[in-house]
């Protein structure tokens, strides 16, 4: 977990790179939570309003939701289904995003706009210029499942909208849980801000790397941040997630 010291355009917040063993099975949502998904929750939960869609369709990722909104949605879904849904830990998120890879992106050392939704018009990454297309002149959100999945079948882990995780913010990984569990206030953690992962549609490619991480106040409801949930095991064969 984290990035090696020689990874181009890495941040100091991504070190030290370290091994994590996640002992318990979990399933990651194939796509980000959509407006359609979230609107069912909001209709059933008067305390929580669905963000305005604007030009977004029901299949676009819901955005403009705070960390508390995301947590409440996961609790509601758990109650509705009898299955345990929650926000992923930071370690779980990176494990799923990497999908067995060790490169900056699950696509390798480079990524292009046919593989991820980011601002490839204004920004390039390391020596990958020749592999990046003309880009989108106006970076914008896209519907979930629009781009090819990573090797584990997960769509838009890089870009589109950043995604909340359960963890409190730490400036590095000193003292991080070796089992990939939720990292709380220990080791000078700040739980008034939470870790977001994945980067978004108007980010440079360095911000959508598998190891890239950032922090946002848990009260912020940004149009660049959405939700992806995990479900805890155990899982029966052919179990519907």
Give SS3 for 100: coil
Structure confidence at residue 130 (pLDDT): 47
Longest dimension (CA), the chain: 50
Phi and psi dihedrals of 164, rounded to 5? -65, 145
Which fold is adopted by the domain 1-233?
Answer: 3.90.1580
79 and 130 Cβ atoms separated by less than 8 Å: no
The owner of tokens 């002149």 is 137
Quote the Cα angle for 141-164-220, to 5°: 80
Structure confidence at residue 52 (pLDDT): 82
* Alpha-carbon span 147 to 150, nearest angstrom: 9
Structure confidence at residue 122 (pLDDT): 78
Structure confidence at residue 137 (pLDDT): 55
Token pair, residue 43, equals: 């209709």
Give SS3 for 78: helix
- Strand-pair partners of 60: none
Residue spans of the chain under pLDDT 70 = 129-138, 237-241
First to last CA, the chain: 26
Q: How many CB atoms lie within 10 A of CB 212?
A: 28
199 and 212 Cβ atoms separated by less than 8 Å: yes
* Alpha-carbon span 19 to 178, nearest angstrom: 7
Strands annotated E in the chain: 26-28, 85-86, 162-169, 190-197, 213-217, 225-226, 230-232
pTM of the model: 0.94
């Amino acid at each position: 977990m984290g990035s090696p010291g020689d990874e181009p355009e890495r941040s100091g917040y991504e070190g030290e790179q370290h091994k994590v063993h996640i002992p318990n099975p979990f399933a990651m949502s194939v796509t980000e939570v959509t407006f359609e998904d979230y609107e069912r929750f909001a209709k059933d939960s008067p305390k929580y309003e669905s963000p305005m869609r604007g030009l977004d369709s029901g299949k676009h990722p819901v955005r403009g939701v705070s960390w508390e909104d995301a947590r409440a949605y996961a609790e509601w879904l758990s109650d509705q289904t009898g299955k345990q849904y929650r926000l992923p830990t930071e370690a779980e998120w990176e494990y799923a995003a990497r999908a067995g890879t060790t490169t900056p992106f699950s696509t390798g050392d480079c990524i292009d706009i046919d593989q991820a939704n980011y601002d490839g018009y204004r920004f390039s990454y390391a020596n990958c210029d020749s592999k990046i297309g003309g880009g989108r002149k106006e970076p914008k959100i896209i519907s979930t499942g629009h781009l090819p999945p990573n090797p584990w079948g997960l769509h838009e882990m890089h870009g589109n909208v950043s995604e909340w995780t359960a963890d409190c913010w730490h400036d590095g990984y000193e003292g991080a849980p070796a089992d990939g569990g939720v990292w709380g206030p220990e080791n000078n953690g700040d739980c008034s801000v939470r870790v977001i992962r994945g980067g978004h549609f108007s980010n440079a490619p360095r911000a959508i790397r598998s190891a890239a991480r950032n922090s946002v106040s848990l009260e912020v409801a940004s149009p660049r941040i959405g939700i992806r949930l995990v479900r805890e095991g155990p899982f029966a064969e052919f179990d519907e997630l």
